[in-house]
Chains A and B, each alone.
Chain A
Amino acid sequence: MPLSSSLQISASGLTAERLRLDVISNNIANANTTRGADGLPYRRQQVLFAARQEGSSFASHLSHARGKVSASGMGVEVTSVRPDLSTDFKMVKDPGNPDADANGFVKMPNIEPVIEMVDLIASSRAYEAGVTAINAAKQMEQRALDIGRA
């Protein structure tokens, strides 16, 4: 049933993009957090996406058994949310800060607001595209039902 799997594929995209939006919001909210639970400044979090291949659902086993192999993938999945270790903490001179070291420098999170904003826009555009795809699939399903009504 390609049309109903279209809806599930698009839904997986919406879920993934929403999670990415949450993580980006969290990064922006913590752009100035100098001390976390581990005593270190906040580290930027990254979301990793991977294309999801045909799953182990009953429907996919059934279609395999019937010799119908759909080569199309089954959407997207978030494999992990992990800390971004590729950049170091920023050192800012602020001797009055309680977290400052002996030389008056404070370790700030490795967050660039511009990068977060660009990611935010990319994510929200992808979300909109997914919503458009869902509406198109719904409309097509409606047209398919109209065949019987003729």
Chain B
Amino acid sequence: MIDRLFGGDTYTAATRALDATALRQQVISHNLANANTPGYKRQEVQFENELSRAISQHDNPCAPRINSVRPRVITVGNTSERADGNNVNLETESVNLAINALKFEALAQSVAGTFRALKTAIKGS
């Protein structure tokens, strides 16, 4: 029963996604800190697509497991916002920052819900 609670797909996916969201926060901070660095190219975290692929192919034994999906940091090098080669857009990064914070909050609530369910199972009320 407890294994089911902690090994469940929802819990595993939520904790993995929390890690990825925290990493994305770091990457967005890095982009914002380098908003005025000439030639700097913005970085991005890729995670959600691979996670949803792992979830949708859950029954396929050859597909990657949910807990083996790792976020990847990639550099977006093929665009330019300004003459100095920097491609950080303050508006885009701010929006991503807000989305990311909301996502983190939703995931944290989901994980906290798992613990609440466990507590209810232990205490009975």
Contacts and interface: CB of A to CB of B under 8 A. Distances in A.
B34 A76 contact: yes
Contacts, number: 121
Interface residues of B, number: 38
Contacts of B34: 13, 49, 51, 73, 75-76
Interface in A118-150: 122-123, 125-126, 129-130, 132-133, 136-137, 139-140, 143-144, 146-150
Contacts of A33: none
Interface residues on A, range: 35 or more
B67 interface: no
B29 interface: yes
A126 B90 contact: yes
A10 interface: yes
A3 interface: yes
B52 interface: no
Secondary structure at chain B's binding surface: helix, strand, loop or mixed? helix
Interface in A17-72: 17, 20, 49-51, 70-72
B33 A143 contact: no
Interface centre among B36, B94, B98, by most chain A C-beta atoms within 10 angstroms, is: B36
Contact of B29 (A9, A17, A50, A149): A9
Interface of B: 18-19, 21-23, 25-30, 32-38, 40, 43, 72-73, 90, 93-94, 97-98, 100-101, 104-105, 108, 111-113, 115-116, 119
Given A49-B36, A50-B37, A143-B105, 4 more contacts: A13-B32, A71-B43, A140-B105, A150-B112
Interface of A: 2-3, 5-7, 9-10, 12-13, 16-17, 20, 49-51, 70-76, 122-123, 125-126, 129-130, 132-133, 136-137, 139-140, 143-144, 146-150
Please provide the 7 A-B residue pairs with the shortest distance between their CB atoms, ordered closest to farther.
A13-B33, A150-B112, A71-B73, A2-B22, A49-B37, A9-B29, A76-B33
